[in-house]
Amino acid sequence: MYKTIKRVGSSISVSLTLIIGFGATALLFLGTCKLEDDAFNQDFERRASLRVTTLQRGLEEAVQVLTVINRLFTTVDNPTRDQFHTFTDPLLQKYPHVQAFSFQRFVMRGERYDFEAAMQPRYPKFGITTLVEGKTISAPLRDRYLVVDYLEPMQGNEAALGLDLSANQLVIDTLQRAIETNSPVSTGALRLAQASTNERGLLVLMPVYRHGMPLTTAAERRAAVIGDTTAVFNARVLLERIFNSFGPVRREGLEVSVYIGTSASREDLVYRTDDIRNQAMVPGLPSWLGYRRPVLVRRTFDIAGQPWHLEVKSAPIPLTSNHSNSLLILGAGTLLTLLAAAYLYTLSMRSRRIQRTVDERTAELRLTNVLLKEDIHARQQAERALQLRQRAIEASANAIIIMRATAPDYPIEYVNPAFERITGYSTAEVGGNSIRMLEGPDVDKQGFIDIWSALNEQRECNVVLRTNNKDGGMMWNDFYIAPVKSEEGKVTHFVAALYDITSMKRYEAELEFQANRDVLTGLVNRNMLRKVLEEAMAYAERYQRSLWVVFVDLDRFKFVNDTLGHKAGDLLLKTVAGRLRGAVRDTDTIARLGSDEFVIVMSEYTDVGLDTRNLQRIQAAIAAPMTIEGHTFFPTCSLGVAAYPDDGRDAEMLVKHADIAMYRAKQSGRDNYQFYTPAMNEQALERLRIEGDLRLALERNEFLLHYQPKIDLRSGEIVGMEALIRWQHPELGMVSPVRFISLAEETGLILPIGSWVIRTACEQTKAWQDAGWGKLRVSVNLSVRQFVQKDLVSSIAAVLKDTGLDADLLELELTESLVMTDVEHAIGILRQLKELGVHLSIDDFGTGYSSLSYLKRFPIDVLKIDKSFVRDITLDADDAAITVSIISLAHSLKLHVIAEGVETQEQLSYLRRHGCDEMQGYLFSPPVPAEQFETLLQQKVDLMKSALVSSSR
Ligand SMILES: Nc1nc2c(ncn2[C@@H]2O[C@@H]3COP(=O)(O)O[C@H]4[C@@H](O)[C@H](n5cnc6c(=O)[nH]c(N)nc65)O[C@@H]4COP(=O)(O)O[C@H]3[C@H]2O)c(=O)[nH]1
């Protein structure tokens, strides 16, 4: 009986021990499970948020790149395809997730043929195309096309060049939005011409406006738009690159789906990482048994006006994973319960069950062993994940700083190697210090103020910051700071990411320089000149002050460029720019418009007035001799001045009028200045009109030569004649060369006209010789352009050969300033001409910058005294003295002297008295057509002889 009672009692106590032990173990297990689940979910949400932030930053950066591209079009008026290439190339290398950059241009129906033809020399099969079912075909006729014109890189994007996007309503709507919001706008997902058919892409557009148009309102911007710049992204490539910058998503057990739109609709899905549903599944085990439900995080954000929706899903996780603690508790509880039961059981049945107890303990130990192994495995996994994150942070190209959330200094606890590389500070130097050490003398104070207030308020903050590195060098950073919270939600640290955007900022600065400065001389360019002038006009208006716009043009710059090449030309321009800087006041602005054209803006201030001495200073500064590549030049310049407001109320008009005045200065013999008068405008208009006709005059045979006799003062005979060109204009009548020769020089027409003159003069002289009029020498004027022409000598030789005229009977008249521009070069050409046997004379002698030492070295035959001296020879003692000294100088150099413009007997007598050899002028005959000249020859110039006789009395 006792035995039975004892056995029953012991069974009851064993059962009770088991019930209580298992109950308590189960409760503990479930509670721990819940805590572990919560921890897992929090960790997952944090990782998912990191992905979302990465994507958002990556997309914002892509849009920012497009903003930089668009700046090219706002700062440079109509940039070339090559400029577009040069500008986008480094950006494409820096941002490989960009598929392409392009510039779309509006082309009207009537312009289509010309546009296609203009592109074909570069792209032979070029045509405007449209996209139909993934294929490009020739675009049908439309009123207006939006054509992909500039495209970089070309490789891989060929299908998009010439594509007309105007039929794509999505693109057009997006462009409208971009115009309305005046900011970059993204399309939704669309099919790309250059991608495979099942891939989607997106475009981010920014409108390009015509320069100079107002852009304040949407209506103004619509009127000014000429196209747009676009960044093209292949959604898969873009997203994969952005995500993979943190390591493959799949390895982290995340499934990411990206939608361009507000919700997870099938049509808006542009990207999904690999399906990870079965990644962790044990074959044969149903998913509801033993697996945790995947966690799903959804986020929606806005990129360039386009909503993006992102879903991040976790892989199904086995219940055993992350439940190590609860399982340990379950195991340990079970063990304890069983031990207690076993203890009781042993007490009652020790002897009988001893063997069984040993077996049970062995089994329990095995179970514990398994649990321990699982625990170790889980810990190792967690450790590996931590190490991976550590390595990722260390490998990051951007600087990362971790700071303790301890005010007031927020000491730095960790910096990654990129931080050391970028700032120059080592971990040892910054550890324990605050980020204040980045604040040098050159920093952006406001940026730091923003960061400190974000730290104090424990919130995120993103600023573009200028800091100093250890060497004191200036750097630009995109600085992003965010609080890091403990499991209890307390901010324990801050993490800061520092993106080095110094090179991008440098780009921007360079772009600004290029947009506003002349690259060769560093002076202000045309674009900037307009702004400077507008400010100067506003100042002049407000304070009622004078304002001068001075147009400076170098005389005979083309001569240097044509003879010595562009390198020498560039050197000359740089020297001139330096001289101009030295000649003007600090308050004046000098701009270079191109070639040898400079504009100076001079404002009047209370203590600094404006007068012509300012202009003379400029002339004097330019006029100093200059040696380039062993050649000595005597540069001069012509100046034109337009004054505000009398000569124009806007920048363009002032510069135009200064240019017209400068042209007048050139016409008046160069090396002088002229103030604009309204009459000059008329002349400029006339110049434009005759320029068109001048181009046709040779073809229409409208030129003819007049000949003016040259008289030998000893014999009284006609010994030669000067050939002077005339233009028989169908409407204007006989046009003087004074009106068209300089125009012909500017346009280059002087070359065909000049060679016509030489040929006609030689033919006529030979004809007179054959007709028995003896050996008359004909002289022709040579212009600068002709003089520097490469084949001048050979072409003159050919004319002499063709016409049969003796070289000795041709005289070339060169102006003094022409040969003095580059003396060495001139001597070389003159020697070659001399070897041909032709005569050479210096025209207008005495008017320019003459140097006797050079004159001696010129292989010339004749000096021609300019008519300005002859005119006043009997009235002005200076002119008379100059004339006499020219004659004696010429004779001492064994040169012949001829005086031109002889109109009176007094002039004739004077010249004769002082030993002048020859003369020409109205006193004998004006220049006359060839038939009349023959009459002069026939009359044996009785008149002249009598004139000579009377002058000798
Ligand atoms: N006041 C006055 N003037 C006199 C007298 N005798 C002649 N003249 C004018 O003086 C100018 C002399 O030519 P230039 O100094 O070489 O100056 C020339 C020359 O520089 C240029 N020119 C004329 N024909 C040619 C040509 O075929 N080629 C080039 N490159 N230039 C030419 O046009 C300029 C003007 O030619 P034109 O109108 O024919 O004017 C001619 C002539 O008609 C006089 O007694 N008194």
Where in the chain are the domains?
76-244, 399-508, 522-666, 690-952
| 761 CA distance to ligand 1 middle (Å) | 15
The answer on pLDDT for 278 being more than 70 is: no
**Residue owning the nearest CA to atom 3 of ligand 1:** 901
Reported as a single tens digit per residue, the pLDDT across 349-374 is 766 666 777 788 888 888 888 888 88
What CA–CA distance (Å, rounded) separates 781 from 101? Answer: 56
**Residue owning the nearest CA to atom 19 of ligand 1:** 781
Per the document, the length of the chain is 953
> How confident is residue 536, by pLDDT bands cut at 50, 70 and 90?
very high
Which CATH number, 3.30.450.350, 3.40.50.2020, 1.10.10.10, 3.20.20.110, labels domain 76-244? 3.30.450.350
What CA–CA distance (Å, rounded) separates 268 from 190? Answer: 9
ipTM above 0.90, yes or no: yes
**CATH superfamily label, 399-508:** PAS domain (3.30.450.20)
- The predicted structure's pLDDT at residue 302: 86
**Integer angstrom CA distances of residue 660 from 616, 654, 767:** 19, 10, 44
- The predicted structure's pLDDT at residue 397: 86
| 710 CA distance to ligand 1 middle (Å) | 13
Residue 313 pairs with which residues in a beta bridge?
Answer: 255, 296
Lowest mean pLDDT among 27-31, 291-295, 747-751, 901-905: 291-295
Q: Tally Cβ neighbours within 10 Å of residue 453.
A: 11
Higher per-residue pLDDT: 441 or 185:
185
What's the mean pLDDT in 927-945?
Answer: 80
> How confident is residue 949, by pLDDT bands cut at 50, 70 and 90?
low
Lowest mean pLDDT among 156-165, 564-573, 937-946: 937-946
Could you tell me where the beta strands, DSSP code E, fall in 747-797?
A: 777-781
- The predicted structure's pLDDT at residue 351: 60
> How confident is residue 6, by pLDDT bands cut at 50, 70 and 90?
low
**Residue owning the nearest CA to atom 46 of ligand 1:** 901
Reported as a single tens digit per residue, the pLDDT across 413-448 is 999 999 998 889 988 888 889 888 887 666 667 888
What's the mean pLDDT in 214-238?
Answer: 89
Ligand 1 atom, smallest distance to 744 CA: 30
Q: Are strands 547-554 and 597-603 parallel, antiparallel or unpaired?
A: antiparallel
Ligand 1 atom, smallest distance to 705 CA: 27
- The predicted structure's pLDDT at residue 254: 73
| Six-digit token string for 945 | 């002889």
Three-class DSSP category at 34: helix
Closest CA to 817 of 789, 786, 851: 851
The answer on pLDDT for 43 being more than 80 is: no
Residue 228 pairs with which residues in a beta bridge?
Answer: 104, 207
What residues are in contact with ligand 1 under a 6 Å CB criterion?
708, 724-725, 736-738, 741, 754, 757, 780-781, 783, 843, 867, 900-903, 920-922, 927
What CA–CA distance (Å, rounded) separates 902 from 711? Answer: 11
**Residue owning the nearest CA to atom 6 of ligand 1:** 921
Reported as a single tens digit per residue, the pLDDT across 126-139 is 999 998 887 889 99
- H/E stretch holding 313 reads strand 306-314
Ligand 1 atom, smallest distance to 757 CA: 27
| 519 CA distance to ligand 1 middle (Å) | 42
What is the percent of the chain with per-residue pLDDT over 90, rounded to a whole number? 40
User: What are the residues whose beta carbons fall under 8 Å from the beta carbon of 868, sequence distance 6 or more?
Assistant: 847, 879, 901
Q: What are phi and psi of 112, to 5 degrees?
A: -60, -50
Mean pLDDT over the full length of the chain: 85
Which CATH number, 3.20.20.450, 3.30.1330.40, 3.50.50.60, 1.20.1530.20, labels domain 690-952? 3.20.20.450
Q: Tally Cβ neighbours within 10 Å of residue 32.
A: 18
What CA–CA distance (Å, rounded) separates 300 from 260? Answer: 10
Question: What amino acid occupies position 159?
Answer: A
Could you write out the DSSP letters of every residue in 587-605?
T-EEEEEETTEEEEEEE--
| 553 CA distance to ligand 1 middle (Å) | 25
| 724 CA distance to ligand 1 middle (Å) | 6
Ligand 1 atom, smallest distance to 902 CA: 45
Higher per-residue pLDDT: 163 or 630:
163
The answer on pLDDT for 752 being more than 70 is: yes
Ligand 1 atom, smallest distance to 708 CA: 7
> How confident is residue 279, by pLDDT bands cut at 50, 70 and 90?
low
Reported as a single tens digit per residue, the pLDDT across 617-672 is 999 999 888 888 888 888 889 999 999 999 999 999 999 999 999 998 987 777 88
| 737 CA distance to ligand 1 middle (Å) | 7
Ligand 1 atom, smallest distance to 754 CA: 28
What's the mean pLDDT in 858-873?
Answer: 91
**Residue owning the nearest CA to atom 20 of ligand 1:** 781
- The predicted structure's pLDDT at residue 287: 57
Classify domain 522-666 by CATH number. Answer: 3.30.70.270
| 449 CA distance to ligand 1 middle (Å) | 77
| 928 CA distance to ligand 1 middle (Å) | 12
- The predicted structure's pLDDT at residue 96: 79
HEC string for 255-304:
EEEEEECCCCCHHHEEEECCCCCCCCCCCCCCCCCCEECCCEEEEEEEEC
Query: Are 76-244 and 399-508 in the same CATH fold?
Result: yes
What's the mean pLDDT in 314-340?
Answer: 73
| 900 CA distance to ligand 1 middle (Å) | 9
| 822 CA distance to ligand 1 middle (Å) | 24
Pocket test for ligand 1, best of 698, 781, 906 (most atoms within 8 A of CB): 781
